[in-house]
Amino acid sequence: MNKLNFLKPDKNNLYVYVYTGSALLFISIFDVFLSSFFNINVTSYLPGPVSLLLPLIIGLFGLHLIRIEFSGLKYLDLLNKNINTSNFNGALTLLIIFAIIMATPPSLSWFIFDANIAGDTKEACTGSGACWTYIKVWLRRFMYGMYPNELQWRINVSFILLIALAFVGYFSGEKLKKFLTLYYVIIYPIIAYILIYYLISGGSFGLEWVETGAWGGLSLTFIVSFFCLIFCFPIGMLLALGRRSNLPTIKYFSVGFIEFWRGVPLITVLFMSSVMFPMFLPEDFFMDKLVRVIIAISLFEAAYVAEVIRGGLQALPRGQYDAAKSLGMGYWKMHIFVILPQALKLVIPGIANTFLALVKDTPLIFVVGLMEIAGMLGLAKTNPKWLGFAMEGYVFAAIIFWIICYAMSKYSYNLELKYKTER
Amino acid sequence: MSDPIIKIENMNKWFGDFQVLKDINLSVEKNKKIVVCGPSGSGKSTLIRCVNRLEEHQKGSIIVDGTELNENTKNIEQVRAEVGMVFQQFNLFPHLSILDNCTLAPIWVKKMPKKDAEELAMNQLKQVQIDDQSNKFPGQLSGGQQQRCAIARALCMQPKIMLFDEPTSALDPEMIKEVLDAMVNLAKQGMTMIVVTHEMGFAKEVADEVIFMDEGMIVERANTKDFFANPKNDRTKLFLSQIL
């Protein structure tokens, strides 16, 4: 029986088990590494299935040997507690590690080693990997759409100004702190609108007019998302309050509004905004397509934001309302100072969720002929000179969207931490 | 005899079909301390919540300091600014510091300059001995400290009347005394108080009159000495025998 002792790792021979186990684990991972990176199969003399499963079996045995509770080694305990609690968990861990190792070489070679970036034509792409030349050539279109090349500085300038103005909050003195909310909620959007109207759209001050149909690419994604985010939030907040109002008119209007917009698909809304809506307007009344789209998306997302905020309002204990009322606060003071700050804090994750969805919904504006980044991709991939590079384009767009959304989700997480107070 | 500061006449209240308060007649004079007691579900809390209209009454009238409580929002807000209330669950605003909890209403409801409001708040916090905690958040304080802060917050509105809705019921036993001490202090300063509580010791020490309620009615109202020495009603006797 003594010989079977090695099947039950214990603390007495801690280091023997740890070293043997680690060595076996290393061998199993190294074997997979060799076969996927260098195509060397060390165990090729064994029958196929055995050769395939061997790393898993060796690895599992290694994990089994190092599964020693309360070993006193910090990292070993951490490992055992989190990924090596049982044979099943150990197997899952190993399989995931193997999958990552196996997926690395092909993706690396597609992205980097076999990819091309030199040259300006399709012919420059000779490798079997990605053709980044395509992205390079089309980059301006992906960023600015059909906006004339020589005027693109106007977009750059206004975006840089807007970003700079967004950081005003960090540098304002103590005295101006209380105006910050006002600044961000009202003044900043107005500045943004003025900048975009006069600088990007042009038409006055000697700047050439560029119609919104020519705008596009990533800059359009930003413009649409920015204004929709800014508008849908306050509208959603009012709708959420309205839905809980005691006044029947306001209440049923809010309910009707929310249920209507949540019930129709965004694509229909966009289509209506560009085709149906102008029919109801007076003849000489002109509203730009982009403006109509922004209004449509804002109203659409406002309905979702409203329901998210309502969830937060309902989560607050009734005592908070009682306390605020008993201090003589009226409806608006109570909501502005007591209820909304707490409710909004609760729903930051939900709001972030809605906002991320909004940003990723913006490509849908292609149905009304506005081409933001994904729309431009659709255009570029059907260009006769550049057929066959859809993959590169979509990967590129995916990376850009991922960066935007990840930044937003990080920011929302930071907000959550910042406003965290113990209850 | 001066005019009563709170005057309730034939007040009735229903929750749906259930009648919680039946024909309540109650007048309270200035500077009087009144303790309301009775079994749970007897309508004590509802009664004092009606005084600042956290609950609406359906019949009868309530006049607080010359202002009748009715549909008029302005009246209600005026009364609420004059009537402070302390709750069983403290109900501090968890997103604001202790000091901000106290200054919020004076600044925004009474339009007091921020500096004056802070000074006033620090004074009130000193009275209840938590001025050293003023920068903390409610969640960082013990229950007793939170309740004392709630008292200070109500007092910052410089109310004429204070309502206490079972202020010690949610506290650990060793914290009850500190809150009661703060209330006794307040009583000595001559505040008009209506206190719903089961702390009979407090009633004996502070109250001018005790009201016993059962099933939505005021069963007995007597001055404190008589109430404890020789209660008239049988239900009062039973209640007292159970809790004393």
Q: Which two tokens stand for residue A343?
A: 């409710």
Q: Which of A320, A328, A423 sits opposite B81 (nearest CB)?
A: A328
**How far apart (Å, rounded) are the C-alpha atoms in residues B209 and B223?**
4
Per the CB < 8 Å rule, is B109 touching A320?
no
Return the DSSP state at A3: G
**How far apart (Å, rounded) are the C-alpha atoms in residues B235 and B199?**
18
Q: A153: pLDDT confidence band, cut at 50, 70 and 90?
A: confident
Tell me the ipTM for this assembly.
0.91
φ/ψ (deg, to 5) at B201: -60, -45
CA A229 to chain B, closest CA, distance in angstroms equals 25
Q: Which of B52, B78, B108 sits opposite A326 (nearest CB)?
A: B52
Per the CB < 8 Å rule, is A326 touching B108?
no
What pLDDT score was predicted for residue A1?
A: 41
**How far apart (Å, rounded) are the C-alpha atoms in residues A265 and B177?**
61
| CA proximity to A55, closest of A81, A27, A20 | A27
pLDDT for B131 beyond 80:
yes
The percent of chain B in helix, strand and coil, each rounded to the nearest 5, is: 40, 25, 30
Task: Kindly state the average pLDDT of the residues A62-81.
Answer: 80
Q: A423: pLDDT confidence band, cut at 50, 70 and 90?
A: very low
Q: Is A341 on the interface with B (CB under 8 A)?
A: yes
Per the CB < 8 Å rule, is B91 touching A322?
yes
Q: Is A216 helix (H, G, I), strand (E, B) or coil?
A: strand
CA A331 to chain B, closest CA, distance in angstroms equals 10
Residue with tokens 């919540």: B49
Give the amino acid at B34.
I
Assign domain A132-147+210-418 to its CATH superfamily. Answer: MetI-like (1.10.3720.10)
Task: Kindly state the average pLDDT of the residues B220-232.
Answer: 88
Residues A328-374 have pLDDT tens digits of: 898 899 998 999 888 988 888 899 999 998 888 888 888 888 888 88
pLDDT for B2 beyond 70:
no
| CA proximity to A399, closest of A120, A106, A142 | A142
Q: A216: pLDDT confidence band, cut at 50, 70 and 90?
A: confident
% of chain A exceeding 90 in pLDDT: 16
Interface of B with A (CB under 8 A): 49, 52, 54, 73, 77-78, 80-81, 83-85, 87, 89-95, 104-105, 108-110, 137-140, 150, 153-154, 157
Q: Are the C-beta atoms of residues A392 and A134 closer than 8 Å to each other?
A: yes
What pLDDT score was predicted for residue A6?
A: 56
Q: Is A193 helix (H, G, I), strand (E, B) or coil?
A: helix
**How far apart (Å, rounded) are the C-alpha atoms in residues B160 and B147?**
20
Give the amino acid at B179.
V
How many Cα atoms occupy the beta-carbon half-sphere of A376 within 13 Å? 27
Give the amino acid at B124.
Q
Task: Kindly state the average pLDDT of the residues B212-239.
Answer: 88
| CA proximity to B155, closest of B114, B200, B190, B198 | B190
Q: Is A177 on the interface with B (CB under 8 A)?
A: no
Q: Which two tokens stand for residue B175?
A: 């914290």
Q: For chain A, first and last CA: distance in Å? A: 58
pLDDT for A241 beyond 90:
yes
Q: Which of A318, A322, A326, A336 best probes binding to B when mutated, by most B CB atoms within 10 angstroms?
A: A326
What pLDDT score was predicted for residue B146?
A: 92
Per the CB < 8 Å rule, is A423 touching B140?
no
Q: A324: pLDDT confidence band, cut at 50, 70 and 90?
A: very high
CA A419 to chain B, closest CA, distance in angstroms equals 8
What pLDDT score was predicted for residue A173?
A: 67
| CA proximity to A339, closest of B53, B100, B140, B94 | B94
CA B224 to chain A, closest CA, distance in angstroms equals 28
Helices and strands, counts by H and E, chain B: 9, 10
Q: Is B21 helix (H, G, I), strand (E, B) or coil?
A: strand
Per the CB < 8 Å rule, is A333 touching B93?
no
Question: Which residues of chain B does A323 touch, with a Cβ-Cβ cutoff of 8 Å?
Answer: 85, 87, 91-93, 150
Q: Which of A323, A333, A419 sits opposite B87 (nearest CB)?
A: A323
Q: Which two tokens stand for residue A117?
A: 């970036």
pLDDT for A240 beyond 90:
yes
Residues in chain A, overall count = 423
Q: Which of A322, A328, A422 sits opposite B140 (nearest CB)?
A: A422
Q: Are the C-beta atoms of residues B23 and B217 closer than 8 Å to each other?
A: yes
Q: In chain B, whose CA is at the least distance from the CA of A342?
A: B95
Q: Is A282 on the interface with B (CB under 8 A)?
A: no
Residues B10-58 have pLDDT tens digits of: 999 998 889 889 898 988 988 889 999 988 888 899 998 998 888 888 8
Question: Which residues of chain A does B78 touch, with a Cβ-Cβ cutoff of 8 Å?
Answer: 328
φ/ψ (deg, to 5) at B183: -70, -40
